[in-house]
Structure 1
């Protein structure tokens, strides 16, 4: 980002070798440039440097500094006010007088002065800032760093924790109440030689414990796998008159996600690298089960948030994606009858239900260097339904 009035300055010593080299390159062998005797005959105390040498210095500054590699020089007007002589020390300054970020155009005031402070040249340049259409892929991280994981003490989250540890991440595991279960997951993480930080936080209450994450330092991966129990509330039986379940899902699924992203985002922005991954549901893209409106409304809102994160943080090297599995046998589906699960498995093209490992593998991919161009996507793990 540039600012009006911002200046860039460079200096150059004008010597005989430089003038001779430029004369040979350009073919301008006018004797006042290369012959001191002739220069004096024309009234100059020393050989006169080619004016285009200073233009070449402007070209160097535009191409290497302001705005730098990829820049296209659109126009230049120059007024030479005084001769530049061999032996002069010249200082060239470019000052931003106009900047259009949308058009990537810069207007630069040009000024050159000699070692006596005498202005020898002035003018104006217009430059288009270059844009690398193929931009270098983000550098691979030598160290995986810290992954923060919600909902990691059970089901999908526990499997994700183990996979991330296997891939080299230390894990900060957010759990609500069952420390003993969380310790078992921590042991799984530690079995891969990684650290596991247990952070007790109640995501059903805003700010309840999440501030403890700040002490752990920056992270480069955040996975939001926490979810309230789905529950069922039929709209045609007065669901809208009771907001408790709706509020619960909104808090755990959306507000907690936003709160945690606010905590991890500054470190990711500073590092120029980060991954944000959220759990969705295949019901986002199909007819939902009856009674799922509190759960599904929150997931749709979360998906909208993920898409916005992808757009706004992508330029900062941070990607945001969602993984949406179909039915999985976890605590969240404990109230689904076994017969219904069996029917679901039989009608699936791969003849089974999704497994926590399927989700963990998708998270592993999205967290990898190979997914640097995957952003704002919702990966549906449905087996083909």
Structure 2
């Protein structure tokens, strides 16, 4: 019988210094994974995540890398292999900033930066780890998308477009990489309490909570628990799936 245990597995979590990424790194570490905590700007917070994992009996390192830069990502992967000997799990989570504006107020550059940044992060991180996963005939690729790729909202033109691309690319990867023992899945959080949503009006959050069946918006740990399931052997017969984590605010 499979059990939820990641002992000996090695996970890279991008954008892991805060929010959903930090929760993912912590929970993977608490279930035995060796974790690489990727960050770009928040070195101190990344180290705090590493310290948390170590204080709770796990093993982790931090690594600064811009996921939009292929050489930087390759260096992170090289360091991971030198330190831990393998890469079993990739959590592609790093946030690419975007403007919340209606289409009529958007310039093309803003749209392009979001979509290109998101797809570069997807490509760079996947490309850097996938050869190793193919060679070992095993891997878990988990992409953090958004419920806005399926049920968008006013002002989220760039974000919805970019995350829709992530969803589609992940399905294609699942088809191509399945024969090599690599599972590819997508997690689509609804509105979640993170630094990225800190400035959203309280009234807006309350409104979303009120029409959500579970009567609250998400917390990072809600998403991290689903990521943990996908990273574990319990999900070994799942691939090419989109899992919404939104309290039932929309259903598929």
What is the TM-score of this pair, normalised by structure 2? 0.90
Q: In structure 1, how many angstroms separate the alpha carbons of the residues matched to 2:65 and 2:179?
A: 31
- Listed one character per residue, the Cα deviations across residues 174-224 of structure 1 (whole Å, up to 9, x for unaligned) are 1002211111011111123222121111234x2252122213213000001
Contact kept, 8 Å, 1:227 with 1:249, in 2: the verdict is no
Match of 2:48 in 1: 184
Which residues of 2 match residues 341-360 of structure 1 at below 5 A? 341-360=205-224
Unaligned runs of 5+ in 2: none
Structure 1 residues 367, 350: closer, same or farther in 2, change over 3 A? Answer: same
Match of 1:209 among 65, 72, 85: 72
Match of 2:230 in 1: 366
Unaligned runs of 5+ in 1: 1-136
Match of 2:118 among 253, 265, 268: 253
Match of 1:301 among 165, 171, 176: 165
RMSD: 2.0
SS in 1 for 2:70: coil
Q: In structure 2, how many angstroms separate the alpha carbons of the residues matched to 1:154 and 1:181?
A: 7
Q: In structure 1, how many angstroms separate the alpha carbons of the residues matched to 2:61 and 2:113?
A: 26
Contact kept, 8 Å, 2:6 with 2:28, in 1: the verdict is no
Q: In structure 2, how many angstroms separate the alpha carbons of the residues matched to 1:374 and 1:364?
A: 13
Q: In structure 2, how many angstroms separate the alpha carbons of the residues matched to 1:154 and 1:143?
A: 24
SS in 2 for 1:291: coil
- Listed one character per residue, the Cα deviations across residues 146-171 of structure 1 (whole Å, up to 9, x for unaligned) are 10010100001111111000111111
Match of 1:175 in 2: 39
Which contiguous aligned blocks of 4+ residues in structure 1 show a shift greater than 4 angstroms?
Answer: 140-143
Contact kept, 8 Å, 1:226 with 1:252, in 2: the verdict is no
Give 1 or 2: higher strand fraction. Answer: 1
Match of 1:236 among 92, 104, 108: 104
Q: In structure 1, how many angstroms separate the alpha carbons of the residues matched to 2:70 and 2:216?
A: 39
SS in 2 for 1:358: helix
Q: In structure 2, how many angstroms separate the alpha carbons of the residues matched to 1:150 and 1:375?
A: 21
Q: In structure 2, how many angstroms separate the alpha carbons of the residues matched to 1:141 and 1:269?
A: 22
Contact kept, 8 Å, 2:13 with 2:21, in 1: the verdict is yes
Contact kept, 8 Å, 1:155 with 1:330, in 2: the verdict is yes
What is the TM-score of this pair, normalised by structure 1? 0.60
Contact kept, 8 Å, 1:203 with 1:251, in 2: the verdict is no
Give 1 or 2: higher helix fraction. Answer: 2
Structure 1 residues 230, 331: closer, same or farther in 2, change over 3 A? Answer: farther
Match of 2:149 among 274, 280, 284: 284
Per-residue deviation, 1:359: 0.4
Match of 1:220 in 2: 88
- Listed one character per residue, the Cα deviations across residues 124-145 of structure 1 (whole Å, up to 9, x for unaligned) are xxxxxxxxxxxxx99x998432
SS in 2 for 1:209: helix
How many residue pairs get aligned? The number is 243
Q: In structure 1, how many angstroms separate the alpha carbons of the residues matched to 2:116 and 2:195?
A: 19
Contact kept, 8 Å, 2:6 with 2:33, in 1: the verdict is no
Task: Specify the structure having the higher radius of gyration (Cα).
Answer: 1
